[in-house]
Amino acid sequence: MISQDIIERVRSETDIVGLIGEYVKLKRAGRSFVGLCPFHTEKTPSFNVSPDRQAYYCFGCNAGGNAITFIMNYENLSFPEAVKRLAERLGIRVEYTEKDDPTKPMVEALELAHKLYQETLWSKAGLSAQRYLVERGLKKETVKSFELGLVPHDITELISLAREAKLTPKVLSESGVLGTKSGRFYPFLSGRIVFPLYTSAGKLVGFSGRIWGDDPNPAKYVNTPETTLFKKGRILYGLSRARAYLRREGAIVVEGQMDVVRLTQAGFHNVVAPLGTAFTTDHAGLLSRYAEKVILVFDGDEPGRKAARRALEEVLAVDLDVSLLLLPEGEDPDSFLGSHPASEFRDLLDSAKEPIPFLFLLSNPEGSSQRRQTAKQMMAIISRVRDRLRRELYLDEAAELLSIDRNVLAGLMSSDGNTRGTKTSNKGTETLKKKEEQLLRMMIQDDGFIRIAAERLSPEVFPEGDERELLKRLYDLVQSRDKFSAGEILDTLEPRLRSRVSRWSLSEVQYSRDEFIKALAHYLFRKRRDKLRRELKEAERVGDTERARSILSELNELVKESSKIYQEI
């Protein structure tokens, strides 16, 4: 188990500006540093790093945290893995156990299976699979480079190796290596050629098995079942290999693993693919960390066209520069390269269309009815674009291509049926919530304020929710140590809370002790007054005149003596 002392040492000794500066170009701005956010694509820097608070926050996408959470989010690591990575950077020796990282045995099981799968492919038992891959146009060095393997039908050797490594069949099952049927274990991807699946940081989390011979399951690809480690909607095949090329060359997104392998062999090193699923918001967000430009490549059939539309929406929502390419019908990148040189595929990429011309050519509208439908489709997609300049340029293109007045098209974006009605809100409740947030903002900046609040303000006074949870965390911290900074609490918080606390910690507004005491006194007064008002209303509703008179007297006394609350603190 990683000791708290080691965690605190790693956190305190890591220079957050130096660390993030290795990933993001930062410039000083007052007491903080700013740069382009690594978690979403932007043109104007909104990513702030504070050396004083040892925290970062992006005002564009609300990502926030400290050095440990930055590495966790950027490299997709667990907390212990991030601590260890930073410790190694500092020269601090640290080991972590299964208790720290419960996924460790699962990773070991995957790595053990992966080694066996590779050995099986290059053994006598794998000769037929080798011939199949060669016939598909893959070179031996390519297959080895991508670490492809073959899952044996027999479970015996796998179980034996696992026993030697002190891994149980249960762990093999939890990692997705084994399946169960009628209470018996079997190799989950038995007989299939497998592609190892890695996170962007290069951590093995599962496999994708491809059909090639006799297989009762007709699905071309079958992935490891979703596990604690593996969530297929968050993995892009080839990303760990392509990362180094994406910022410079942009990303090519294709539909299948074999497409990635074949294109890489042909000299295209910036290729990734989802795992047999639609290109999702998670995929787009993940890709936006590493690339600014994306070319979406799809098959030219009807499913490919539909997939292109869906993927376009997701990519535009994270403000990536995107263009789209539909291959000739019946072709995918793998098959195309089987009969054409790489230079011709490069020419196709150069002919990729930008979103609005692509949508127009895809629809090829004829007549007013089709133009109207195309206009609605275009506006639905344009409305997802966050960058205002990009949205305006797309509107201009759409108006010109459709020969429709630009203002009419712009009106379609706000008339999508999701009109925002005026909501009746409890103004008093909103005011109190703002005051609770204000108190927490003040406490984040000065641990002395937390000690003052702890003597007067019970966490139960706050309504259930994030604010109460954060108040409890702050009270726990001041009880366990003399001094601490905002950065120290960030990696213990849920992402939504971490984002808010990071934003507050970067505020340039400084509060005095007197300002905090006044804010706390006013909040306590409001809570007591509002409670009495609710009780008065209830007494009047049930006709309890005597109780109503007593509460009214308390209210009048509270207003007269409200200044005493401030004096008591």
46-72 exposure pattern, b = at least 16 Cβ within 10 A, e = fewer: bbbbbeebbbbbbbbbbbbbbbbbbbb
What percent of the chain is modeled with pLDDT above 70? Answer: 92
Paired strand residues for 149: 194
| pLDDT band at residue 78 under the 50/70/90 scheme | confident
Answer whether residue 557 shows pLDDT above 80: no
What percent of the chain is modeled with pLDDT above 90? Answer: 39
**Domain ranges across the chain:** 4-90, 104-230, 239-352, 359-413, 427-568
| pLDDT band at residue 354 under the 50/70/90 scheme | very high
| pLDDT band at residue 265 under the 50/70/90 scheme | very high
Amino acid 559: pLDDT: 67
Answer whether residue 417 shows pLDDT above 50: no
| pLDDT band at residue 568 under the 50/70/90 scheme | low
Concatenated DSSP letters of 107-143: HHHHHHHHHHHHHHHTSGGGHHHHHHHHHTT--HHHH
Residues 550-554 have a mean pLDDT of: 84
Amino acid 420: pLDDT: 35
What mean pLDDT is reported for the chain?
86
Residues 39-43 have a mean pLDDT of: 76
Amino acid 209: pLDDT: 94
**Rg, C-alpha atoms of the chain:** 29
Token duo for residue 264: 């890489």
| pLDDT band at residue 207 under the 50/70/90 scheme | very high
* Kind plus residue range of the DSSP H or E element containing 491: none
The answer, as to whether pTM is greater than 0.75, is no
Residues 371-379 have a mean pLDDT of: 90
Residues 433-444 have a mean pLDDT of: 87
Give the per-residue SS3 of 226-247: CCCCCCHHHCCECHHHHHHHHH
* Spatial CA neighbour of 357 closest among 313, 398, 296: 398
Residue 265 near residue 315 (C-beta atoms within 8 A): no
Amino acid 310: pLDDT: 86
What's the DSSP call for residue 493?
A: S
535 or 561: which leads in pLDDT: 535
| pLDDT band at residue 126 under the 50/70/90 scheme | very high
Residues 48-65 have a mean pLDDT of: 88
Range 239-352 has CATH code 3.40.1360.10:
yes
How is domain 104-230 classified at the CATH fold level?
DNA primase DNAg catalytic core, N-terminal domain (3.90.980)
In one-letter notation, the amino acid at residue 463 is P
Amino acid 567: pLDDT: 54
Answer whether residue 90 shows pLDDT above 70: yes
Residues 393-404 have a mean pLDDT of: 92
CATH of domain 4-90: 3.90.580.10
Answer whether residue 423 shows pLDDT above 80: no
Amino acid 267: pLDDT: 96
Amino acid 223: pLDDT: 94
Q: Tell me the CA distances in angstroms from 181 to 51, 107, 173, 178, 185, one per residue in order.
A: 55, 23, 12, 10, 7
Amino acid 566: pLDDT: 52
Residues 541-549 have a mean pLDDT of: 86
| pLDDT band at residue 484 under the 50/70/90 scheme | low
Answer whether residue 473 shows pLDDT above 60: yes
